[in-house]
């Protein structure tokens, strides 16, 4: 950790130039520290310790950028689009987070720079909430704004996550879509909403569903419980084709870390998972697994799944 972030008056940052100056670090020294990798810049004139864990995830880094940008933009602007999605805790897989997005309820005055995208659009009072003291579009409005402007796969991933976490209802999404009918990208948003499914548990499963659809795989049953001869549930799988006796599972790199019980080590979780799969294989025709790297070239996986 940097010695300067140990100064109690500075805290963990983000650190503005005036904060650094107050600690006795002038502009020339800030530039030298940045060149040496002792400071990480997240916006012009704004720095953090390069060891700050918030730099590890794009969403966490963007949250800091939003915090810096909000005091600098118009007072009637509301954080929106992917910036609002980040503040609502939603994943932003493959969605650009280089700019902070905000919306002003007016007809003109839009602005787009390298760091800020200020939209102008109708914005009703019931479409604004407060998150950590910041005015943000509601989850429903945020989702529609995002999925109108990103690709289908990215849209499904964020919609699935919001529905799975019960951050929004289908009724609220439908009402918002109806209100924004005729807006650019609205038909695209509706197609993604119709495909969304709250049973998808993570981005990998959402992307898997899109890939299956593209390669003509038969629609699966999500979170299918495999039942043994005596009626006992042998396991729940991400994807199932009961009529074929086949299950499929997206195997994320952090899967076993997420299913660890208290006091259980990773090796034990791997063994438990292997036993669960063995029990299911005894009553199934096939178990198909795939990993994140295979989602971009899904053809080989699709050939092993029911058509």
Any idea where the domains of the chain sit in the sequence?
4-55, 58-198, 218-302
Residue with tokens 């993604």: 192
The model's pLDDT over 105-158, given as tens digits with 9 standing for 90+, comes to 999 989 999 999 999 999 999 999 999 999 999 999 999 999 999 999 999 999
Q: Average pLDDT for residues 5-32, to the nearest whole number?
A: 75
Long-range contacts at 12-16 (CB < 8 A, ≥ 24 apart): 12/48, 12/49, 12/52, 13/47, 13/48, 13/49, 13/52, 13/64, 14/42, 14/43, 14/46, 14/47, 14/48, 14/64, 14/67, 14/68, 15/39, 15/46, 15/47, 15/48, 16/45, 16/46
Read off the tokens for 55.
């730099």
Task: Identify which of 89, 95, 209 has the alpha carbon closest to the alpha carbon of residue 149.
Answer: 95
Considering the entire predicted model, what is its pTM?
Answer: 0.86
Share of the chain above pLDDT 90, in %: 65
């Amino acid at each position: 950790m940097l010695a300067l972030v140990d100064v109690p008056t500075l805290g963990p940052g983000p650190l503005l130039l005036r904060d650094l100056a107050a600690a006795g670090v002038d502009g020339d020294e800030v530039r030298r520290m940045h060149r040496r990798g002792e400071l990480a810049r997240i916006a012009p004139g704004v720095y953090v310790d390069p060891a700050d864990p918030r730099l590890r995830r794009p969403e966490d880094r963007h949250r800091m950028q939003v915090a810096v940008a909000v005091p600098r933009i118009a007072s009637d602007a509301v954080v929106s689009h992917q910036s609002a999605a980040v503040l609502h805790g939603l994943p932003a897989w493959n969605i650009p987070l280089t700019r902070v997005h905000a919306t002003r309820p007016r007809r003109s005055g839009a602005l787009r720079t390298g760091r800020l995208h200020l939209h102008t659009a109708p914005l009703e009072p019931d479409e604004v909430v407060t998150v950590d003291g910041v005015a943000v579009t509601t989850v429903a409005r945020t989702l529609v704004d995002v999925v109108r402007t990103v690709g289908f796969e990215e849209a499904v991933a964020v919609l699935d996550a919001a529905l799975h976490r019960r951050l929004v209802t289908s009724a609220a999404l439908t009402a918002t879509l109806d209100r924004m009918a005729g807006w650019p990208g609205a038909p695209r948003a509706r197609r993604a909403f119709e495909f969304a499914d709250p049973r998808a548990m993570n981005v990998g499963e959402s992307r898997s569903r899109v890939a299956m659809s593209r390669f003509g795989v038969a629609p699966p049953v999500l979170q299918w419980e495999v039942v043994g001869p005596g009626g006992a549930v042998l396991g729940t799988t991400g994807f199932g084709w009961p009529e074929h006796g086949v299950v499929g599972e997206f195997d994320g790199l952090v899967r076993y870390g997420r299913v660890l019980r208290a006091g259980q080590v990773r090796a034990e979780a791997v063994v438990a998972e292997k036993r669960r799969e063995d029990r299911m294989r005894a009553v199934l025709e096939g178990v198909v697994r795939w990993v994140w790297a295979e989602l971009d070239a899904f053809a080989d996986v699709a050939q092993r799944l029911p058509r």
